[in-house]
Amino acid sequence: MKICLFCENKYAISILEPLQVEADREGNNQVLWYVHAPRIPDFPLADKVSYTNSIADIQKFHPDAIFVPGNIVPYYLSGVKIQVFHGYAAEKKDHWVIRRYFDTYFTQGPFFTRGFEKLARKYGDFEVLETGWPRQDWIFKNLHTFDDERQQYLDTYKKSRIVLYAPTFSPSLTSLPFMRESLRDFAQKEDVVVLMKFHPLTAQEHIDNYRQLAQEVHNIVWIDDINVTKYMLMSDLMISDTSSTIYEELLLDKPVITLRAATKPQDLHWCNIQEPEQLRDAYHEVMDNDGKYTDMRRWIIDNYDPYLDGCVAKRMLEGARDYISRHGVPERRRLNLWRKYTSIKTFGWPNK
């Protein structure tokens, strides 16, 4: 099978890489990455995989399947177009928007499957298959890879726990304008190392502001790395807001504290505070009463993504082959003029 891994943003790299690993393991696939140069000027896998920055090269490659963690893929490319998602943030409205670019949606778990099957019945032009989320394969293989690095942080700063602050970048949802001084107070008064890992699209003013905080407080550490999952594996607790990383931490069965998460109260399966000054009290509440929060996390694990078996990419490749066996390889996706315009504006004209 000829596979295109469609990588528009940096965060997609770690989502798509398990598909490359599984395709290589199978041994009978050709894989070509599309890397969107305007957003990924330095591709960290450049020496390890076949890739291009040219949509024309993807057209010439003529893929059988295209795996996409983003919202848009050029409609004029050949191949079954597969949405594999860039996270678990179901409370964000755009998670459920059907833009008509995809032939099938490979969902993370039962909660998402139910929602997209309902939408599939409404629109009638795409399928849904529950596979799990591919980044979980990387997690499965690396659960203890960073144990020594974790211990180095604890030894270096003479602390007993690691807390990860991983906020979203979205201006309307991010905690970054409010959390700085409370995070300083938290780090100075608690027995923790605070690792700060921000989304690649975070506004530069926030990056500069929090880099300065890391210079001022010895046990606050700025992390300049695209792979947030590595630091989730090392952490004991996450602080965030309305970010899909919340669910990734919960799926590791680790506690989370959010500031003003845009989630309905009945859908909160973690500790949510309304004011930054409540951070230290929330930390003690969560760490001292973890039994309560363990039960809340279990619901997320069972419904959001129970496929922590290291076989998600395998199911995805099998799902793509099954689709092709039933429908053939689509030459292009039928779209209305607006969606065609959006695709062309983002990725350019099709190569005639």
252 alpha carbon, distance to own chain's centre: 14
CB 85 within 8 A of CB 104: no
Return the pLDDT at 66. Answer: 98
Return the pLDDT at 90. Answer: 67
Query: d(Cα 16, Cα 43) in Å, to the nearest integer?
Result: 13
CB 2 within 8 A of CB 29: yes
Q: Spell out the domain ranges in the chain.
A: 2-133+309-347, 144-304
pTM: 0.84
Q: Please tell me the chain's helix, strand, coil percentages from 3-state DSSP, rounded to the nearest 5.
A: 45, 15, 40
Yes or no: domain 2-133+309-347 corresponds to CATH 3.90.1150: no
Return the pLDDT at 253. Answer: 94
CB 106 within 8 A of CB 131: yes
Return the pLDDT at 289. Answer: 79
Provide the residue-wise pLDDT of the chain in tens; the chain has 352 residues.
999 999 999 889 999 999 999 999 999 999 999 999 989 999 999 999 999 999 999 999 999 999 999 999 999 999 999 999 988 876 666 777 888 999 999 999 999 999 999 999 999 999 999 999 999 999 999 999 999 999 999 999 999 999 999 999 988 899 999 999 999 999 999 999 999 999 888 999 999 999 999 999 999 999 988 788 899 999 999 999 988 889 999 999 999 999 999 888 888 899 999 999 999 999 999 998 777 889 889 999 999 999 989 999 999 999 999 999 999 999 988 888 999 999 999 998 877 5
Four-way CATH pick for 144-304: 3.30.1360.120, 3.30.465.10, 2.60.40.10, 3.40.50.12580: 3.40.50.12580
- Taking the alpha carbons at both ends of the chain, their separation in whole angstroms is 24
Return the pLDDT at 277. Answer: 97
Q: How many CA atoms lie within 13 A of 95 on its CB side?
A: 19
Please determine whether the domains at 2-133+309-347 and 144-304 fall in the same fold group of CATH. yes
Return the pLDDT at 91. Answer: 66
